[in-house]
Copies of this chain bind each other. A is one copy, B any other.
Amino acid sequence: MDVKALCLGVLAKGPATGYEIKKLIQDGPYQHFIEASFGSIYPSLSRLAAEGLIEARTEPLEGRPDKKIYSLTPQGREAFRSILSRDPPEDKFRSGFLFQMMFADALGPEEKTAKIEGKLAEYRARHARMVEKRTSQPLSEGELFCLGFGESLVTAAIAYLDSHARRSAAPAPSPAPARRVRAGTAR
């Protein structure tokens, strides 16, 4: 889901400026699933406006750029509905940590345990933030669903890492001989 779709989604809930969209993404209920910078939000809004999917009401301000409060046009609402009903792309979990663990035999066992414990702390902090988000303010059904999903995954990650933080101090069972994989076919 690209930044254009994201903007459309936020605006479907109510008018907002580019600045507010950024805020919502990084501090609001979206923070755990999405990120976007000004450098992609502002151009996206311009393009959406050029396509007639959103429109801006400009509010002059002194000492800083005019505030542009965007809202969906009927065509924009229609376009967003179409995005929602499409088949979404596959979910992706990208983890630099897992990458490092994949090749961790090149690392010392203490270094490895330290990394696992670091990630564990990170996930616990993330979990706390999610619980805080969920309980500190009333959320829509969709937001609850997403936060609940996120909490489930984070909880599973914590359990897994916790059970491995202790285990990993032990030496590896076998020296893992060199191995070339014979897998399927490249496309």
Contact = CB atoms under 8 A, between A and B. Distances in A.
Interface of A: 1, 5-6, 9, 12-14, 16, 19, 22-24, 26-30, 32-34, 38, 80-81, 84-85, 87-107, 111, 115, 118-119, 122, 137-138, 140-143, 145-146, 148-150, 152-153, 155-157, 159-161, 164, 172-173, 176, 178-181, 183-187
Given A95-B91, A99-B34, A156-B155, A183 B28 contact: yes
Contacts of A161: 149
B96 A91 contact: yes
A105 B150 CA distance: 19
Chain copies in the assembly? 2
Contacts of A30: 102
Interface of A is mostly: helix
A183 B24 contact: yes
Contact of A94 (B87, B92, B96, B106): B92
